[in-house]
Amino acid sequence: MGSTMKFAGKVIGGAFAASLVIAGASPALGVACLSGNMCSYENINYGGLTWMGASGTFVEVPDDRASSAHNYTAYGYYAKNNAAFAQEETLAYIPKGQKHSSFSGWNDMVDHYRR
Ligand SMILES: [Ca+2]
Ligand SMILES: [Ca+2]
Protein backbone atom coordinates (compact mmCIF):
# COMPACT_ATOMS: atom_id res chain seq x y z
CA MET A 1 0.00 0.00 0.00
CA GLY A 2 1.22 3.45 -0.81
CA SER A 3 1.83 6.38 1.42
CA THR A 4 -0.46 9.29 2.07
CA MET A 5 -2.91 10.44 -0.55
CA LYS A 6 -1.03 13.25 -2.20
CA PHE A 7 -2.37 14.13 -5.58
CA ALA A 8 -3.72 16.99 -7.59
CA GLY A 9 -6.23 15.22 -9.74
CA LYS A 10 -9.82 14.44 -9.05
CA VAL A 11 -10.49 11.32 -7.04
CA ILE A 12 -13.59 9.29 -7.47
CA GLY A 13 -14.21 6.80 -4.71
CA GLY A 14 -15.23 3.20 -5.10
CA ALA A 15 -18.83 3.60 -4.00
CA PHE A 16 -19.36 6.58 -6.24
CA ALA A 17 -17.63 4.84 -9.10
CA ALA A 18 -19.87 1.82 -8.68
CA SER A 19 -22.92 4.04 -8.91
CA LEU A 20 -21.72 5.27 -12.29
CA VAL A 21 -21.65 1.82 -13.87
CA ILE A 22 -24.38 1.87 -16.45
CA ALA A 23 -26.53 -1.02 -17.54
CA GLY A 24 -24.88 -3.06 -20.23
CA ALA A 25 -21.40 -1.82 -19.41
CA SER A 26 -18.87 -4.18 -17.97
CA PRO A 27 -18.97 -3.96 -14.17
CA ALA A 28 -15.19 -4.42 -14.19
CA LEU A 29 -14.70 -1.01 -15.70
CA GLY A 30 -13.93 2.01 -13.59
CA VAL A 31 -15.02 5.50 -14.47
CA ALA A 32 -14.44 6.37 -18.11
CA CYS A 33 -11.56 8.75 -18.65
CA LEU A 34 -12.65 12.20 -19.78
CA SER A 35 -10.90 13.86 -22.69
CA GLY A 36 -7.97 16.01 -21.63
CA ASN A 37 -7.03 13.88 -18.63
CA MET A 38 -4.20 11.53 -17.80
CA CYS A 39 -6.21 8.83 -16.06
CA SER A 40 -4.98 6.11 -13.73
CA TYR A 41 -6.89 3.16 -12.35
CA GLU A 42 -6.37 1.19 -9.18
CA ASN A 43 -6.86 -2.16 -10.90
CA ILE A 44 -5.91 -3.64 -14.23
CA ASN A 45 -8.43 -3.27 -17.06
CA TYR A 46 -9.42 0.21 -15.83
CA GLY A 47 -11.15 -0.97 -12.66
CA GLY A 48 -11.30 0.23 -9.09
CA LEU A 49 -10.57 3.77 -8.02
CA THR A 50 -10.05 6.25 -10.83
CA TRP A 51 -7.72 9.21 -10.71
CA MET A 52 -8.09 11.87 -13.40
CA GLY A 53 -5.29 14.35 -13.67
CA ALA A 54 -5.40 17.41 -15.90
CA SER A 55 -2.78 17.42 -18.64
CA GLY A 56 -0.12 19.53 -16.96
CA THR A 57 3.60 18.92 -17.06
CA PHE A 58 3.27 16.95 -13.81
CA VAL A 59 0.38 14.65 -12.96
CA GLU A 60 0.25 13.34 -9.40
CA VAL A 61 -1.39 10.09 -8.35
CA PRO A 62 -1.36 8.23 -5.02
CA ASP A 63 1.93 6.39 -4.74
CA ASP A 64 2.14 2.73 -5.63
CA ARG A 65 -1.47 2.09 -6.55
CA ALA A 66 -2.07 2.49 -10.28
CA SER A 67 -2.33 -0.69 -12.34
CA SER A 68 -3.76 0.60 -15.61
CA ALA A 69 -3.99 3.94 -17.33
CA HIS A 70 -5.50 5.88 -20.18
CA ASN A 71 -3.62 8.85 -21.51
CA TYR A 72 -6.50 10.84 -22.91
CA THR A 73 -4.41 13.95 -23.54
CA ALA A 74 -2.56 15.47 -26.48
CA TYR A 75 0.83 14.77 -24.85
CA GLY A 76 3.00 11.76 -24.19
CA TYR A 77 3.65 11.01 -20.53
CA TYR A 78 6.43 9.24 -18.72
CA ALA A 79 5.28 7.15 -15.77
CA LYS A 80 7.69 7.79 -12.92
CA ASN A 81 8.69 5.97 -9.77
CA ASN A 82 10.33 7.67 -6.82
CA ALA A 83 13.77 6.20 -6.22
CA ALA A 84 16.37 6.62 -3.52
CA PHE A 85 18.16 9.91 -2.87
CA ALA A 86 15.23 11.99 -4.15
CA GLN A 87 15.73 10.64 -7.66
CA GLU A 88 13.08 9.21 -9.91
CA GLU A 89 13.10 6.56 -12.56
CA THR A 90 11.03 6.16 -15.69
CA LEU A 91 8.89 3.05 -15.72
CA ALA A 92 7.21 3.49 -19.07
CA TYR A 93 6.20 5.94 -21.74
CA ILE A 94 2.55 6.33 -22.62
CA PRO A 95 2.04 8.07 -25.99
CA LYS A 96 -0.91 10.41 -26.35
CA GLY A 97 -4.22 8.64 -26.64
CA GLN A 98 -2.80 5.30 -25.61
CA LYS A 99 -4.25 2.96 -23.01
CA HIS A 100 -2.45 0.41 -20.85
CA SER A 101 -4.82 -2.27 -19.55
CA SER A 102 -2.03 -3.40 -17.23
CA PHE A 103 1.33 -2.01 -16.23
CA SER A 104 2.60 -5.57 -16.01
CA GLY A 105 5.90 -5.54 -14.15
CA TRP A 106 5.29 -2.12 -12.70
CA ASN A 107 1.78 -2.38 -11.32
CA ASP A 108 1.48 -0.51 -8.02
CA MET A 109 4.75 1.32 -8.64
CA VAL A 110 3.84 4.56 -10.41
CA ASP A 111 4.06 7.70 -8.26
CA HIS A 112 3.44 10.42 -10.85
CA TYR A 113 3.69 11.26 -14.54
CA ARG A 114 5.67 13.84 -16.41
CA ARG A 115 5.39 15.04 -19.98
CA1 LIG B 1 -3.07 -1.18 -8.16
CA1 LIG C 1 6.55 4.03 -6.47
* Weakest mean pLDDT among 10-19, 26-35, 85-94: 10-19
CA 73 to ligand 2 centroid distance, Å = 23
Residue 110 is assigned to a structural domain of this protein: yes
Residue 84, domain CATH: 2.60.20.10
Tell me, yes or no, whether 26 lies in a domain. Answer: yes
Report the pLDDT value the prediction gives residue 21, as an integer from 0 to 100: 41
Query: Which ligand is nearest the CA of 44, by number?
Result: 1
Q: State the distance from the centre of ligand 2 to the C-alpha of 65, rounded, in angstroms.
A: 8
Distances (CA, A) of 90 to 8, 18, 48, 79, 112: 20, 32, 24, 6, 10
Please indicate, yes or no, if residue 19 is contained in any of the structural domains. yes
Pair 41, 69: CB distance under 8 Å:
yes
pLDDT digits (tens, 9 = 90+) for 27-80: 445 788 999 999 999 999 999 999 999 999 999 999 999 999 999 999 999 999
Proximal ligand: closest to the CA of 90: 2
Does any domain span residue 53? yes
Residue 1 domain-assigned? no
- Which ligand does the CA of 84 lie closest to? 2
Look up the pTM and report it. 0.73
- Domain residue limits at 19: 10-114
pLDDT at 29: 55
Structurally, the chain folds into a number of domains equal to: 1
Ligand nearest to the CA of 2: 2
Gap between the Cα atoms of 92 and 18, Å rounded: 29
4 in a structural domain:
no
